[in-house]
């Protein structure tokens, strides 16, 4: 079960969100929003971070003789972003929302902030990463019953020790990086069809197994 991230105890009211007119949006846009967990609040924070990326260097230059004041400004943006993302995340019922929110939470981490704000950011970032790993595990477990993925195919067992090493590499390393998550998405999208094409090709399976063995030796 996905764990909620930590909402501030100081928040007394829920943010008022003005949703876009459904008639002005395509069915694909509505489906993508529902599937990923994005909502109007998420988009506003996305816009805030994009604006901050261009404006904060100017503010920093203006306060070059008073860095504490700049830190206050940057920290305020970080606190608002974190609070809004937590609210949007916890109130989203999307099945695979953690990947979407993880990327934006990592962007917030690029802002300069106080020690306490950094601590709160890191705690919630860790929760989202763990939830993302659980989503991947749940999704891959469902797919295994239908035909397995490449590593399971060549080793013959979803819980083979070598497969466990690869899953651990995914959860402890790949999920922490944008390119790693992009690779995971690509792998989950295309590997089922590759498995169907290669499952009875013993020569190819031996080659793939040899490559995986060398890779696992390097990451152990």
CA atoms within 13 A on the CB side of 41: 19
pLDDT of residue 78: 93
What distances in angstroms separate CA 42 from CA 53, 56, 91, 104, 123, one per listed residue? 17, 20, 11, 9, 19
Q: Under 8 Å CB-to-CB from 88, ≥6 apart: which residues? A: 37, 39, 41, 42, 45, 101
State the pLDDT at residue 143: 47
pLDDT score of 26 = 47
Q: What is the pLDDT of residue 113?
A: 93
Residues near 131 by beta carbon (within 8 Å), at least 6 away in sequence: 2, 3, 98
pLDDT value of residue 146: 39
Instruction: For tokens 């003789």, name the residue.
Output: 65
Mean pLDDT by 10 residues, the chain (220 residues): 57 37 42 54 88 91 91 93 88 71 88 93 88 69 51 83 86 81 80 81 87 88
């Amino acid at each position: 079960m996905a764990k909620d991230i930590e909402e501030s105890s100081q928040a007394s009211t829920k943010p008022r969100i003005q949703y876009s007119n459904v008639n002005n949006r395509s069915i694909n846009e509505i489906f993508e929003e529902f599937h990923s967990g994005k909502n109007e609040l998420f988009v506003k924070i996305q816009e805030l971070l994009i604006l901050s990326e261009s404006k904060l260097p100017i503010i920093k230059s203006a306060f070059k003789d008073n860095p504490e004041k700049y830190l206050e400004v940057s920290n305020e943006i970080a606190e608002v972003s974190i609070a809004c993302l937590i609210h949007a995340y916890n109130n989203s019922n999307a099945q695979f929302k953690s990947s979407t929110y993880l990327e934006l939470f990592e962007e917030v981490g690029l802002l300069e902030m106080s020690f306490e704000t950094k601590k709160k950011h890191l705690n919630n970032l860790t929760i989202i990463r763990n939830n993302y790993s659980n989503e991947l595990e749940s999704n891959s477990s469902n797919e295994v019953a239908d035909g397995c993925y490449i590593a399971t195919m060549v080793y013959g067992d979803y819980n083979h020790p070598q497969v466990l090493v690869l899953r651990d590499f995914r959860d402890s390393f790949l999920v922490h990086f944008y390119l790693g998550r992009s690779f995971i998405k690509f792998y989950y999208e295309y590997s089922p069809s590759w498995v169907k094409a290669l499952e009875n090709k013993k020569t190819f399976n031996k080659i793939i197994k040899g490559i995986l063995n060398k890779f696992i030796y390097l990451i152990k």
